[in-house]
Amino acid sequence: MTPPPGVAQYTPAQAAGMLARSFVLQPVQIGMAPEQKVHTDDPAGTAPYRRTWVGIPVWLWVDNPTESTWGPISRTATYGGVTVTGTASVQSLAYTSGDGQTIGCASGGTPFDAVAMANKPAVDSPTCGFRYQKQSDGGTFTVTATSTWSVEWTGGGDSGRIQLPSTSSSTQVRVGELQSVNVTTDGDTFGG
């Protein structure tokens, strides 16, 4: 389609850039075990929150992924006389734990199945997770998920990739530390 007189024709890359700006991207919803809940040892009226302990596996996954939070999103449009088709998708997903760890996840992660894992030893996620190495000193750590997006495009006899702005979301988690005392059968403790 030729643009009307007085309207400049776009190059394929310019048309692809216009198409890329039309995508509406949203941050992922963080799926996480520990789940957000009111714990049995909390006083009545306590708001739900996430709580875990040093050394316990934390599982991460993309909860309820949609086209706009994970992709792919495909669109075709004509700009300045050039028709382009583009597909936006998450190229990488990284979590920061709040205690200095960064965890790259190659996939959307594996959701934690509380029913299947009931009464079993704690195990690491097979795809995306970590363990806290220190407690949050009465406060919380912020877990942040950052998705890096790009658009693969073709049109006007050309093709390419356009990097898009990243999206981020976060959640809070309290991390405690469990203490144990080793006791012999006669009641003596082991010194250290």
pLDDT digits (tens, 9 = 90+) for 154-174: 999 999 999 999 999 999 999
Residues 14-42 have pLDDT tens digits of 999 999 999 999 999 999 999 888 888 88
pTM of the model: 0.84
CB-based contact 90:66 (threshold 8 Å): no
Report the distance separating Cα 168 and Cα 93, nearest Å.
Answer: 10
DSSP-based three-state secondary structure for 170: strand
The pairing of strands 82-96 and 57-63 is unpaired
Query: H-type helices in 41-117, by residue range?
Result: 114-117
Mean pLDDT value across residues 76-95: 96
Q: Which residues have CB under 8 Å from 21's CB, separation 6+?
A: none
Q: Specify the pLDDT at position 45.
A: 84
- Tell me which residue of 145, 116, 149, 147 sits closest to 129, measured CA to CA: 145
Radius of gyration of the chain (CA): 24
> What residue spans of 61-100 are helical by DSSP H?
none
pLDDT at 191 over 60: no
84, pLDDT greater than 80? yes
90 Cβ contact partners less than 8 Å away, ≥ 6 residues apart: 28, 70, 71, 147, 148, 149
